[in-house]
Amino acid sequence: MNRSAAAVHEWVASFERALTAGDIEGAAALFAAESYWRDLVAFSWNLTTVEGRAGVAELLRTTLGSTRPRGFAVTGEPTEGPGCVEAWLSFETAVGRGTAQLRLVEGRAWTLLTALDELKGHEEPTGDRRPRGAEHGADPDRVTWLERRTRETEELGHSRQPEVVIVGGGQGGIALAARLRQLDVPTIVVERSPRPGDSWRNRYKSLCLHDPVWYDHLPYLPFPATWPVYAPKDKIGDWLEMYTQVMELNYWGSTTARSATYDERTGRWELVVDRAGEPVTLRPRQLVLALGVSGKPNVPEFPGRERFLGDQHHSSAHPGPDAYAGKRAVVIGSNNSAHDICAALWETGAEVTMVQRSSTCVVRSDLLMEHALGPLYSERAAASGIDTRAADLTLASVPYRIMGRFQKPIYDTIREEDAEFYARLAKAGFELDFGDDDSGMFLKYLRRGSGYYIEVGASELVADGSITLARGEVAELTEREVVLADGTRLEADLVVYATGYRSMNGLAADLVGPAVADRVGKVWGLGSDTAKDPGPWEGEERNMWKPTRQPGLWFHGGNLQQSRHYSLYLALQLKARAEGIPTPVYGLAEVHHTS
Ligand SMILES: Cc1cc2nc3c(=O)[nH]c(=O)nc-3n(C[C@H](O)[C@H](O)[C@H](O)COP(=O)(O)OP(=O)(O)OC[C@H]3O[C@@H](n4cnc5c(N)ncnc54)[C@H](O)[C@@H]3O)c2cc1C
């Protein structure tokens, strides 16, 4: 065993000894003065990050007695990380089994991730626990799979109430429902659109995923090895529809959730839904809102909108370019949707102007793949033994507080390698940024969910002038023009508002009422005190995948990777409650912002 591995084994043994002896100060002393412990449900029944020895001690004072952790064991060979030794561990708690990731610097923990994998006695039916399917022998009362499934469909939500209702049947709702199905938690997904996958199908015609296939897998059922790297939106729609069926989800399409009120006395929600014109009241204990982080279009109220004689719509309602060949299109905004829509309009022969109102982080897809995602999510990562779960846990092991330190060098490299591209964009007048602290695209996404474009061609069209660039705020619309604050007049037959989305709060308020939505507070963002992410520091994504200030109310969503990874922790929290396993929550977040 080399020195690094020996240091890891020694640390792990000391940590276990301290925890078993209830020696909280001793355990805290094993952490460096600057240190971070991120816990995903295993100790805290929350997603939480504590900082420094004081934070570690406080977490343990509250949780050690009920968690009763033990059996910490190093799995695999420790490896050299950036200025540290990295190791994977397994461990147990009183109620579950977990995985930990440790970064050790000079014998002390710099970062520790503890993540609950499964609940004892409620493991998923995988491997040897796999269901048999066929019941061999002769049985006059035999019930087939189809009969059982049909009965479940007929009963659930009518004569039998679900434990969980998920409102929103996009990839988020679908991934969570699949996990809950494997954990045997009766669940219904209600979705306004008719078919699973419609939230992708209904987006603009040219859309392909911006993230590569290795990042996008759903739980249990990875895409086949022949799947395209960047899947077209309708293909993703079809996959989600197939997935919903084969994963046996109780999915109510064409069903709109209208209102939800919580009965403190019974601990159940009264959720009124409109199922294809028929009102149905559901009474679940747990209500999950998976309404889309990009769910509520942000449509600006520019003066003169009603006077404009051409077509105008938000990017979410953009039908695609076909009707606009030879027409003048003005696209307001300069992030992903704006770029994609501009490029598709240009390809169809429209005369296109992009209006940039604020700076944008642009990174070429190939470089993002090589430097940012490739080390964890790529063919090369898979070949080096990093499977999807290992990649997700590695990503999760970097506490948000110091993620910038990991991310900034990636974007520094990209900026250097692609200096010529950025110079051309700047020369065309495009205003670039890499986040308030130069930490790049991923943190912009985590902080505000906006402000970036993954370059797949449109930036080249901006740089060479094929797409005209205009800069500044919109002052008004006239019958045929968009007028900017500096007096620039842009003639237009079409105006697309690629102006982004509002937070999930607005959609939540429509459903649970403004009082409950305000009690729960803003959804998404880290409290980084950067643009569109006001402080104070939260340590975790606000309200996502964890308990909120409203009992029985949860939020789920994010990109495909987040939906996959965090649906596990949300599912385990819901399963524990369904089974009556005590779930004392440590560090329930304060609410600082309502929207
Ligand atoms: C243009 C665009 C491109 C993107 N590209 C990528 C990408 O490449 N990779 C990636 O990982 N992510 C991408 N994302 C981000 C994210 O993955 C998607 O927004 C994704 O659709 C989020 O899934 P979701 O299930 O959280 O929400 P959604 O897909 O928005 O689903 C929410 C659902 O809730 C339903 N709903 C809302 N209100 C009600 C109600 N009252 N009753 C019933 N149903 C209701 C809606 O109909 C909708 O289907 C992109 C987003 C956009 C907008």
Percent of the chain with pLDDT over 70: 100
Bond from prior residue into 536 cis (ω within 30 degrees of 0) = yes
Span 36-47, mean pLDDT? 98
Residue 550 is predicted with a pLDDT of: 97
Q: How many CB atoms lie within 10 A of CB 146?
A: 8
Span 311-322, mean pLDDT? 95
Atom of ligand 1 nearest to the CA of 454: 8
pLDDT surpassing 70 at residue 258: yes
Residue 351 C-alpha to ligand 1 middle, in angstroms?
Answer: 30
HSE of 314 in the Cβ direction (CA atoms, 13 Å)? 16
- Is the distance from CB of 320 to CB of 489 less than 8 angstroms? no
| Residue type present at position 409 | P
Residue 90 is predicted with a pLDDT of: 98
Residue 390 C-alpha to ligand 1 middle, in angstroms?
Answer: 25
Residue 502 C-alpha to ligand 1 middle, in angstroms?
Answer: 12
Residue 296 is predicted with a pLDDT of: 84
Ligand 1 atom 18, closest CA: 559
Contacts of 439 (CB under 8 A, 6+ apart): 403, 404, 407, 408, 411
212-223 pLDDT per residue, tens: 999 999 999 999
Cβ of residue 288 lying under 6 Å from some atom of ligand 1: no
- Is the distance from CB of 258 to CB of 192 less than 8 angstroms? no
190-202 pLDDT per residue, tens: 999 999 999 999 9
Exposure string over 412-451, b if 16+ CB within 10 A, otherwise e: eebbeebeebbebbeebebeebbbbeebbbbbbbbbbbbb
Cβ of residue 334 lying under 6 Å from some atom of ligand 1: no
User: What confidence category does residue 244 fall into, taking pLDDT thresholds of 50, 70 and 90?
Assistant: very high
- Is the distance from CB of 40 to CB of 24 less than 8 angstroms? no
- Is the distance from CB of 117 to CB of 96 less than 8 angstroms? yes
Residue 222 is predicted with a pLDDT of: 97
59-117 pLDDT per residue, tens: 999 999 999 999 999 999 999 988 899 999 999 999 999 999 999 999 999 999 999 99
Span 409-437, mean pLDDT? 97
pTM: 0.97
Residue 364 is predicted with a pLDDT of: 97
176-188 pLDDT per residue, tens: 999 999 999 999 9
Question: What end-to-end distance do the CA atoms of the chain give, in Å?
Answer: 53
- Is the distance from CB of 305 to CB of 282 less than 8 angstroms? no
Residue 502 is predicted with a pLDDT of: 84
Q: Measuring CA to CA, which residue among 329, 418, 404, 297 is closest to residue 368?
A: 418
Q: Compute the distance between CA of residue 409 and CA of residue 421 in angstroms, rounded to an integer.
A: 19
Cβ of residue 197 lying under 6 Å from some atom of ligand 1: no
Q: How many CB atoms lie within 10 A of CB 344?
A: 22
Q: Compute the distance between CA of residue 333 and CA of residue 330 in angstroms, rounded to an integer.
A: 10
pLDDT surpassing 80 at residue 239: yes
Q: Compute the distance between CA of residue 408 and CA of residue 354 in angstroms, rounded to an integer.
A: 28
Q: Compute the distance between CA of residue 241 and CA of residue 523 in angstroms, rounded to an integer.
A: 27
107-161 pLDDT per residue, tens: 999 999 999 999 999 999 999 999 999 889 999 999 999 999 999 999 999 999 9
3-state SS, residue 79 = strand
Residue 288 is predicted with a pLDDT of: 98
Residue 1 is predicted with a pLDDT of: 67
- What is the per-residue DSSP string for 154-213? HHBTTTB--SEEEE--SHHHHHHHHHHHHTT--EEEE-SSSSTTHHHHTS-TT-B-SS-H
Cβ of residue 564 lying under 6 Å from some atom of ligand 1: no
Residue carrying the six token digits 């996008």 = 216
Ligand 1 atom 17, closest CA: 559
Phi, psi of 329 (to 5 degrees): -115, 135
Of 171, 206, 269, the one to substitute when testing ligand 1's pocket (max ligand atoms within 8 A of C-beta) is 171
534-589 pLDDT per residue, tens: 999 999 999 999 999 999 999 999 999 999 999 999 999 999 999 999 999 999 99
pLDDT surpassing 90 at residue 594: no
User: What confidence category does residue 162 fall into, taking pLDDT thresholds of 50, 70 and 90?
Assistant: very high
Instruction: List beta partners, residue 158.
Output: none
User: What confidence category does residue 2 fall into, taking pLDDT thresholds of 50, 70 and 90?
Assistant: confident
Percent of the chain with pLDDT over 90: 95
Residue 315 is predicted with a pLDDT of: 96
Q: Measuring CA to CA, which residue among 314, 357, 363, 352 is closest to residue 330?
A: 352
Cβ of residue 190 lying under 6 Å from some atom of ligand 1: yes
